[in-house]
């Protein structure tokens, strides 16, 4: 028994990478991708056949470079699904984060491409940034049987809105919350027992379980193994390959930390759009990190645009 094997007894382990060889080696249940991870993998010579195949499909369909990018995301997703028994998360363009209708249209296109490739929609999660517009788009997509993973989630307002909308899964970002508080406190580290990222996910998990929400909680964006292990018992945990390797190299078992019903009771939060926007606005960290996350993904999405456009030309 090692720490990774032990963790798998408490939580579903998800690989946070676009590196297919790492996924095949680590054997997680699911995998998640985003524009930054796909950019890195698309530029890797090992995966050039996938890139070339997506470009060829786009040309044959009379599409432009933008169409090729959708096909590239699906090509990587299909390849990843050969190595995981569960689901892959594929992200909608971050530039659509404040446009519900465009988000829905892009999600529908991605699912159509997956289904054309023989992948059932139950094996795909569409990743959408947790803006108010993103939550509304996800609510409608879920009614169509298109399952969603709401990402860039940093605060309770976002978490409650997602659960009320009936989304399949949320990805609260542990590491980026930790980073923000380290910067605010001007410290290099925060002890695990005081880690605000760990505390945020623990609170969301307890809230969901107390009120019987079906939405799954998947802790994401980890900076160190201790943060992962402090959330053992969370529904899912998406972890980068280097941290998965560190856990696999550590012998012994770890304890389950999150257990439904053990936290102190909380009051239910009622949200309409105005209440959501006010509660989210009250959390300076969540406001800043959501905006920052969208901008960061946008930078890499534009780099991917240029990379694919250069090949497509």
The dihedral through the CA atoms of 74, 298, 156, 175 has a sign that is positive
Q: Which residue has the tokens 């380290």?
A: 182
The answer to whether residues 197 and 178 touch, using CB atoms and an 8 Å cutoff, is yes
101-107-109 Cα angle (round to 5): 105
Active-site residue flag, 40? no
2 bridge partner residues: 251
Q: What is the distance in angstroms between the CA of the first residue and the CA of the last residue of the chain?
A: 51
Q: What are phi and psi of 163, to 5 degrees?
A: -65, -45
Q: What is the DSSP letter of 83?
A: T
Catalytic residue among 40, 127, 224, 274: 127
Burial of 169: CB neighbours in 10 Å, binned 0-12, 13-18, 19+: buried
Q: How many CB atoms lie within 10 A of CB 278?
A: 11
Q: Choose among 14, 72, 12, 15: nearest CA to 41.
A: 72
Which positions are annotated as active-site residues?
127
């Amino acid at each position: 028994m090692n720490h990774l094997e032990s963790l798998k007894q408490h939580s579903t382990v998800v690989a946070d990478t676009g590196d297919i060889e790492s996924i095949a080696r680590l054997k997680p249940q699911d995998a998640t991708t985003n524009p930054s991870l796909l950019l890195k993998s698309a530029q890797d010579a090992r995966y050039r056949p996938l890139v070339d195949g997506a470009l060829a499909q786009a040309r044959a369909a009379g599409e432009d470079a933008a169409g090729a990018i959708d096909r590239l995301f699906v090509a990587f997703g299909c390849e990843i699904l050969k190595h995981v028994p569960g689901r892959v998360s594929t992200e909608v363009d971050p530039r659509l984060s404040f446009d519900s209708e465009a988000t829905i249209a892009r999600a529908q296109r991605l699912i159509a491409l997956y289904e054309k490739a023989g992948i059932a929609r139950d094996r795909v999660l569409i990743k959408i940034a947790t803006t108010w517009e993103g939550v509304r788009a996800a609510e409608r997509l879920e009614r169509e049987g298109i399952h969603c993973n709401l990402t860039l989630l940093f605060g309770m307002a976002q978490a409650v809105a997602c659960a009320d909308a009936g989304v399949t899964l949320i990805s609260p970002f542990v590491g980026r919350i930790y980073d923000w508080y380290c910067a605010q406190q001007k410290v290099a580290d925060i002890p695990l027992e005081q880690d605000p990222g760990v505390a945020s996910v623990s609170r969301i998990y307890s809230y969901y379980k107390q009120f019987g929400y079906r939405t799954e909680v998947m802790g994401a964006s980890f900076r160190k193994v201790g943060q992962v292990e402090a959330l053992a018992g969370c529904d899912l945990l998406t972890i980068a390959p280097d941290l998965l390797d560190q856990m696999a190299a550590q012998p012994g078992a770890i304890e389950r930390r999150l257990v439904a019903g053990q936290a102190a009771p909380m009051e239910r939060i009622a949200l309409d759009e105005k209440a959501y926007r006010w509660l989210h606005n009250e959390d300076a960290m969540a406001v800043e990190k959501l905006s920052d996350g969208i901008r960061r993904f946008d930078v890499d999405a534009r780099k991917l645009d240029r990379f694919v456009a250069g090949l497509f030309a």
